[in-house]
Amino acid sequence: MRLRNLKDKDVWLDNCSYLIKKPEEYKGNWHKVFGNDGPIYLEIGMGKGDFIYEMAQIYPYINFVGIEKYSNVLARAVKKYPLELPNLKIINMDALKLQEVFDQEIATIYLNFSDPWPKERTKERRLTSERFLRIYDAIFLGEKRIVMKTDNLKLFASSLISLSNYGYVFKNVNLDLNNSDIFNVLTEYERKFVAKKIKINYLEAIK
């Protein structure tokens, strides 16, 4: 989801009060960052922030952390949502470095419209590949819970297989999320898909 460079990107990021600039310093102590013992939910690839910002408003007793690899995308999220929420923090980082930042602290991981990496040679880059599931093992606290949404059927099928092979069981699987009774907070991209009547695939897996 690369976008044209935001000219004032650095200004928005430098002045964002809820952006954690040195997240590795808080490894194992994220409850101190939030000032409470509430559960911590993580969105990997938060994009422009629609999903996580709304979730933080709906669930003030849950702490949310959003990570985004691309600083230009993250800056657009900050520009769109400049108001700080007490239960929301964001980080500019690659998911491959999650173990450097968290240590058995995460209750739920959200994967919303992740890059499908469709080619066989790039399948290990998928956020539901065994490579990433091993990383998640180190940051989960207690029961592991992954919630995923995607419009890409091949990625969805691959994820079902990968998660199942890794020991996850499915609490919920749906091939048409927006015509179901599952509570759903939409991302920016998802709104475009819904407008085009593109079906959204959804799963909730636990281990």
State the chain's mean pLDDT as an integer: 95
Q: Please tell me the predicted confidence (pLDDT) of residue 52.
A: 98
pLDDT, mean of residues 72-93:
96
The predicted model scores a pTM of 0.95
User: What are the residue numbers of the active site?
Assistant: 115
Residue 69 above 50 pLDDT? yes
pLDDT of residue 30: 98
Helix axes 153-165, 130-139, angle to 10 degrees: 60
139-164 average pLDDT score? 97
Average pLDDT over residues 139-154: 97
Class of the CATH domain delimited by 127-207? alpha beta
Percent above pLDDT 90 for the chain: 91
Per-residue pLDDT reduced to its tens digit, 103-136: 999 999 999 999 999 888 999 999 999 999 999 9
Under the banding of pLDDT at 50, 70 and 90, the label for residue 1 is: very low
pLDDT digits (tens, 9 = 90+) for 129-145: 999 999 999 999 999 99
User: Distance between CA atoms of 63 and 81, rounded to whole angstroms?
Assistant: 17
